[in-house]
Amino acid sequence: MTEKEKRSFLTKMLHSIQDVIYGMASHDMARQALKTRGSMEHLFILITMGDLLGVPILPPYYSLRLLPYVVPQISTWKRRMLRERDLTDALA
Amino acid sequence: MSLAKVFREHPERRYIMFGGKGGLGKTTFSAATGYWLAKQGKRVLVFSVDPQASLSDIFQRDIFGKGAVEIMPNLYAQEIDADQHIREYQEEIRQKIRDMYGFEEIPDEIESYIQAASAEPAMEESAIFDQVVDIVVAGEFDYYIYDLVPLGHALYYLSMASVYDQWISKITKLREEMREYEQMAARVSRKKELQEDKILEELQDIRYRISTSSSILTDREKTAFFFVLVPEEMVLIDTQKAAKLFAKYDVPLSGYIVNRVIPPEVALSEHAPAYLRNRYEMQQKYLQEIDNLFGDEVLARVQEMERDITGLEMIERMAQIMFGEEALE
Amino acid sequence: MALVVLIVAIAIVVIGYKFYAAAIDRNIVQANPKKATPAVMYNDGVDFMPASGSVLFGYQFKSIAALGPIVGPIVAVQWGWLPAFLWLMLGVFFIGWVQDYAAAMMAMRNEGLTMGGLAYKFISPRARGILLTFLYFYLLLIMGAFGAVVAGLLANPVVPIGLLILTLAGVLAGQMTYRWKMDLVMTTIITVLIALVGIWLGTTGPAQNIVKAINGLAGTGDKHILYQTPYGPMTWPVFFWGIVALAFCYLGSVLAIWRFAQPVNYVSFWFVALGLIGSVLGVAIAAIFGTTDVAFHIPAFVTWNQPKLGWLWPMLFVTISCGAISGWHSLVSTAGTARQLEKETDALPVGAGAMFTEAILATLAVIFAATAIAKPDGSVIYDANNMYFLKVKAGAVWMYGMSRFLSWIPGISPAMGGAIGAIFLAVMALTVMQLVLRFMRVASAELVGDKIPAFKNPHVGTIVAILFTFLILWTAFWQRIWVLFGGANQLFAGLALLLITIWLANEGKKYAWAFWPAVFMYITTVAALLVVAWKSFQAMTKPDIGAAFAFGNAVAGLIGLFLAITAIVLAYDGLKSLSKARQKAAAQAGD
């Protein structure tokens, strides 16, 4: 192992340790906040792009203007709206 | 009070509207007012949001969907082609999606959404609305003369502005709350950089445009709204109703213009048929009623012309009648 | 001896991970790093979000390591330390990691379904309902078992004030991060310091006097006996602090998660981490400068039949619930981790890795328990004259142990060390209890909310769950609750393994490595539950017992019986599905 390889190995180790500590200490908090944000995002898509479900709510001219930004979320949003939810989902 | 005086005393009223039932001469007044103001050296835009607009007819030029067209020095006219605008807009959205995500083609689901949204009846209304905002916000002219669609539509247009505004406020708030949670997560996972929320920016822009436009419409300082009516019973009743509704939306009324008044020298001449004389007498009755109702808010009485108002020559004559001879030179 | 046991444990764990688990991951399950996982495919920012392997290892480990690996071994050494150690090693090697890892894998390969959806898909529609009902009672037992431990800890005068201040520091941490938007490092340092100072304050005279006054409220002294049971008295302090512990969980369940549960758990985590680091440091200092007594006081083998708890088989196997195998982990693996794994190949280090690491932690607890025989003041912990019966609460064993190591660090008094140990254990239990109570609330709303609309109100669901927990706490014999919880926990693991077996059979993969563990867990835990139920009913019929005790035992017995019966129904449905899956696989092979 050269000096450089050693150093990159060490930084990698350090990063992994940081990740593990983050995973134990605060990952769940971050995840919960993102979850809340995510479900609001889906509410947002529902009220702006409601046409996808046949409910026009936003003036269509403006909903088109927002469309490019929600393109990636549309399929996951639809999937989540249609997916049957299970009680055990709520754990963890 | 005369029309010319209103314009002279209130140079800050840069947004001019003529409202009233269809076929009473709103377009004629818009064109004539534009002509008069242009002659005074102001840059004026007369524009129409009516899909069956008649600006092309009155100026005897095809200006439909061609942007602001110069009719004579300082006078411009524009007819909005909503369909064309929607088509261009759709393409703009598609291009944005292609650019943002490097798509060769728009995914079916998204394309069908674009199609469906454009087929909505409200699409045309909101497209026109947005284009008007574009025109007004650009601020290139001293005066903007709205050739409004008939009354009901005008009210719809106004109410749409307030509904949009409320609606956008709500989703902007939701979006801001989402931002809070995103920042929470970022703080907890110690991520420094957060991407800007493009949607929030767009919403804030949309909101700015809508509130600018609707505040202009309801701003007594900047807006002059004239009701056009003719001395007939039905029109009089409708006008009173409309005036109440406009008051509800806080649209400031600058005055009334009475059109199609039969000149006494015609009606009372010896050769005039009884039919014309009867009509004249009926008009006199309603003119009296109009004066009683609106008093000095009646700014002008415009006589019935012997031919259609088309072409600059006729427009000039109309302007003379409306604003008085002296004002034109 | 302690060192030898630890080295053997590490060796077994490494072999198990490197050879057995890795081989199954590679050859049978065939984890494919290129295959898109649900977290990546469905990344919806709500249920599915990818995270890196090392982050998830931390997440999984923290979620699975609670009281189980600590309390289980402390109770289990009453049969001798060797049986406890052997079960830990064999359990984790052949069963524990299999469940944690394969549950995550199964969920990932089935669009991120969780246990309920998986039971519906692989066993039968009614299996989902039965499983959810089972889950409710299982969680209730977690509440009871952990609640009993916390109540015992809080009854100690040095504990409550410190825990209260730690809780307030947690609430402050939530306010600082979410409302005042302060930097997390700053928030952490300030609030953890407040918590530590608070714990010190709690050990001072005035604070202790407050608690002692509360403990003496019921009358005669601070150990007022409310009623006698054949296993010892139910005292006022334990009764009272049990209510306080459940009130704490109530707040965690009904308040917005970022207001209470989350930040309190966050501060608790750092406190626990510091406690562990401190203990290691204490051991190191003791090894260099002093002498620590690390000889095993408990014999390798004590008895086949522990008088109070029962036969070594099946009871020992359910006593050590985490560490060897735990059904709780299958819930974490499916609902939490499987929906975040960004690569299939991460399931091995996360699922199996965290489980093997936990087995080491449990081994440490065995060593801890086996070396502790008496408190510094000479009072007995494990009674050598009475089949090494554990005379104190498990919390006390841990407190004493931790204090012994921590007090080697200059500036930490034995009282402070004890308080740290007690609060350490209490917050670990409370973290899980809050999550469980929150879930029970959601579960009761979903299960009976349609028939009894009141349950849709979060307060009603929470309070009902708390009342159930009280019934169990009233039995006063926490070791009985512990084995009942252990039985339910292990049986849930058996269910998870059964599901895994059926899934593997459906996929046409080899399944013996999951099937036989499932069979073993099933037989062992159903037997254990029946034994507990029998013993509870027996205790009920004894003369001169309090009504609460009788009632509590009746409830405990009924729950045990109920869990055993539902498990048998599920096994019946499961085996039918298994044979169908086998026929299908055989038919496909024949084509």
Q: Is the pLDDT of residue C356 over 90?
A: yes
**Of A23, A24, A89, which is closest to C47 when you measure between CB atoms?**
A89
Q: How far apart are CA C345 and CA B228, in angstroms?
A: 77
Q: Where are the domains of chain C?
A: 2-590
Backbone angles phi, psi at C546, to 5 degrees: -70, 155
Alpha-carbon gap, residue C191 to C184, rounded angstroms = 10
Residue C532: pLDDT band by 50, 70, 90 thresholds? Answer: confident
The count of structural domains within chain A is 1
> Residue C346: is its pLDDT beyond 90?
yes
Q: What is the ipTM of this complex?
A: 0.84
CB-CB: which of B109, B118, B202 is closest to A65?
B202
pLDDT at A52 over 80: no
Is some CB atom of chain A closer than 8 A to the CB atom of B3?
no
Closest-CA distance of chain C to residue B188, Å: 6
H or E segment to which residue A81 belongs:
helix A60-82
- The H or E element containing residue C94 is none
Query: Distance (Å) from the C-alpha of residue B180 to the closest C-alpha of chain C?
Result: 9
Q: Do C55 and A32 touch (CB under 8 A)?
A: no
Which residues from B are below 8 Å from A63, CB to CB?
A: 117
Q: What is the DSSP string of C276-304?
A: HHHHHHHHHHHHHHS----S--S-S---S
Q: Is B198 on the interface with A (CB under 8 A)?
A: yes
Whether C46 sits inside 8 A of A42 (CB atoms) is: yes
pLDDT > 90? residue B249: no
Calculate mean pLDDT across residues B88-105: 90
Q: Which residues pair with B255 in a beta bridge?
A: B226
pLDDT exceeds cutoff 90 at B215 = no
- What are the pLDDT digits (tens) for B264-288? 888 888 888 888 889 999 999 999 9
Answer yes or no: do C183 and B187 touch at CB < 8 A.
yes
CB contact under 8 A, C332 and A92: yes
Least Cα separation, residue B192 to chain C (angstroms): 11
Which CATH superfamily groups domain B9-84+125-167+210-328? P-loop containing nucleotide triphosphate hydrolases (3.40.50.300)
**Chains B and C: how many Cβ contacts under 8 Å?**
12
* Residues of chain C found within 8 Å of residue A32, distances taken between Cβ atoms: 257-258, 262
pLDDT of residue C45: 83
Mean pLDDT of A4-26: 89
Task: Label residue B306 by pLDDT band (50, 70, 90).
Answer: confident
- Give the distance from residue A31's alpha carbon to the nearest chain C alpha carbon, in angstroms: 8
* C contacts of A28 (beta carbons < 8 Å): 59, 62-63, 262, 265
Q: Which residue of C has its CA nearest to A90?
A: C439
Query: Quick one: pLDDT at residue B154?
Result: 61
Task: For chain A, give the number of residues.
Answer: 92
Identity (one letter) of the amino acid at C418? G
Nearest residue to C165 via CA among C205, C192, C126? C192
pLDDT score, position C202: 93
Cα–Cα separations (whole angstroms), residue C434 to B145, B262, C459 = 66, 86, 14
Question: How far apart are alpha carbons C22 and C101 in whole angstroms?
Answer: 11
Is beta strand B75-79 parallel, antiparallel or unpaired with respect to B69-72?
antiparallel
Cβ–Cβ under 8 Å, residues C157 and C399 = no
Interface contact flag, A51 B202, Cβ < 8 Å: no
CB contact C450 to B (< 8 Å): no
Q: Inter-chain contact A33–C258, Cβ cutoff 8 Å?
A: yes
Residue tagged 């027996």 (tokens): C538
- Taking an 8 Å cut-off on Cβ atoms, the answer to whether A92 and C336 are in contact is yes
Q: How far is it, in rounded angstroms, from Cα A41 to Cα A35?
A: 10
Check A62 against B206: CB less than 8 A apart.
Answer: yes
Supply the pLDDT for residue A57: 58
Q: Does C414 touch chain A (CB under 8 A)?
A: no
Dihedral sign, CA of C552, C555, C558, C562? negative
Q: Which residues of C touch B187 (CB under 8 A)?
A: 177, 181, 183-184
What is the predicted pLDDT for the residue at B328? Answer: 42
* pLDDT at site B288: 92
DSSP states of B174-190 as a string?
Answer: HHHHHHHHHHHHHHHTT
Of A36, A60, A66, Cβ closest to residue B122: A60
Q: In the predicted model, is pLDDT for residue C526 greater than 70?
A: yes
C229: phi then psi, degrees, rounded to nearest 5: -130, 165
Q: What's the pLDDT band for C530 if we cut at 50, 70, 90?
A: very high
Tell me which residues of chain B, numbers 226 to 265, contact chain A at a CB-CB cutoff of 8 Å: none
Residue B120 at interface with chain A, using a CB cutoff of 8 Å: yes
Residue A78 banded pLDDT, cuts 50, 70, 90: confident
Report pLDDT for C68. 79
Contact between B187 and C258 using a beta-carbon 8 Å cutoff: no
Return the number of other C-beta atoms located less than 10 Å from residue C457's C-beta: 14
Mean pLDDT of C184-192: 93
pLDDT at A50 over 80: no
A12 neighbourhood in chain C, CB within 8 Å = none
Q: Which residue has the higher pLDDT, C480 or C528?
A: C528
Distances (CA, A) of B284 to B256, B258, B264, B269, B321: 17, 12, 10, 16, 19
C108, two tokens: 């990932």
Considering CB atoms only, which of A24, A79, A86 is closest to C44?
A79
% of chain B at pLDDT higher than 70: 92
In this prediction, residues C341-350 reach a mean pLDDT of 95
Helix/strand/coil for C546: coil
For position C475, what pLDDT does the model report? 66
Q: A29 with C258: CB under 8 angstroms?
A: yes
Distance from CA of C168 to the nearest CA of A (A): 18
What average pLDDT does this structure show over C156-181?
92
Residues ≥6 apart with Cβ < 8 Å to C376? C400, C404, C414
**C182: closest chain B residue by CA:** B187
pLDDT value at residue B329: 39
CA distance linking residue B197 with residue B176, whole number of Å: 9
- Phi, psi values for residue C530, rounded to 5°: -65, -40
User: Among C222, C236, C233, which Cα is nearest to C151's?
Assistant: C236
Q: Which of residues 485-514 of C touch A (CB under 8 A)?
A: none
Contacts of C55 in chain A (CB under 8 A): 19-20, 22-23, 27
DSSP at A43: H
Sign of CA pseudo-dihedral C419, C421, C426, C431: positive
Whether chain A has a CB inside 8 Å of the CB on C443: the answer is: yes
Give residue C57's pLDDT band: very low, low, confident or very high (50, 70, 90).
very high
Return d(Cα C89, Cα B87) in angstroms, integer: 70
B chain contacts of residue A73, beta-carbon cutoff 8 Å: none
In this structure, are residues C247 and C433 in contact, taking their beta carbons and an 8 Å threshold? no
Interface list for C 329-348 with A (CB within 8 A): 331-332, 334-337, 340
Task: Tell me how crowded residue B171 is: count the other CB atoms within 10 A of its CB.
Answer: 22
Half-sphere exposure of B284 (CA within 13 A, CB side): 10
If you average pLDDT over every residue of chain C, what do you get?
Answer: 89
Spell out which residues of chain C touch residue A39, defining contact as CB-CB under 8 Å. Answer: 46
Reported as a pLDDT band with limits 50, 70 and 90, residue C172 is: very high
Contacts of C183 in chain B (CB under 8 A): 187
Residue ranges of chain A whose CB lies within 8 Å of a chain B CB: 22, 26-27, 29-31, 33-34, 36-37, 40-41, 43-44, 47-49, 51-52, 56, 58-72, 74-75
Please determine, for residue B169, whether its predicted confidence score (pLDDT) is greater than 90: no
**Is B183 close to C183, i.e. CB distance below 8 A?**
no
Q: What is the largest CA-CA distance in chain C?
A: 81
Highest mean pLDDT among B245-249, C10-14, C479-483: C10-14
CA distance A42 to chain C (A): 9
- The minimal CB distance from A69 to the residues B122, B199, B206 is found for B199
Taking one residue from A and the other from B, the number of pairs with CB-CB distance under 8 angstroms is 110
Chain B hits for A61, Cβ within 8 Å: 89, 122-123, 126-127, 129-130
Q: Which of A49, A64, A67 to mutate to test the interface with B (most CBs of B within 10 A)?
A: A64
**Looking at per-residue confidence, does C388 or C194 come out higher?**
C194
- Calculate how close chain B gets to A34, using CA atoms only, in Å: 6
For an interface test with C, give the residue of B181, B182, B183, B188 to mutate (most C CBs within 10 A).
B188
pLDDT confidence tier of residue B327, bands split at 50, 70 and 90: very low
Characterize the bridge pairing of strands B143-147 and B15-19.
parallel
Of all residues in chain C, the one with the smallest CA distance to B185 is: C178
Reply yes or no on whether the pLDDT at C376 is more than 70: no
Residue C237 CA to residue C225 CA, distance in Å, equals 9
Among the ranges given (B34-43, C29-38, C549-558), the one the predictor scored with the smallest mean pLDDT? C549-558
- Give the nearest partner residue to C117 out of A31, A76, A86, using CB atoms: A86
Helices (H) and strands (E) in chain C, counts: 24, 6
Q: Using a CB cutoff of 8 Å and minimum separation of 24, what contacts does C526-529 make? A: C526/C491, C526/C564, C526/C567, C526/C568, C527/C313, C527/C314, C528/C314, C528/C315, C528/C317, C528/C318, C528/C483, C528/C486, C528/C487, C528/C490, C529/C484, C529/C487, C529/C488, C529/C491, C529/C560, C529/C561, C529/C563, C529/C564, C529/C567
**Coil, helix or strand at residue C119:** helix
Residue A64: give the domain boundaries: 3-90
Q: Which of C40-54, C145-159, C170-184, C274-288 has the lowest mean pLDDT?
A: C274-288
Tell me the average pLDDT of chain B: 84
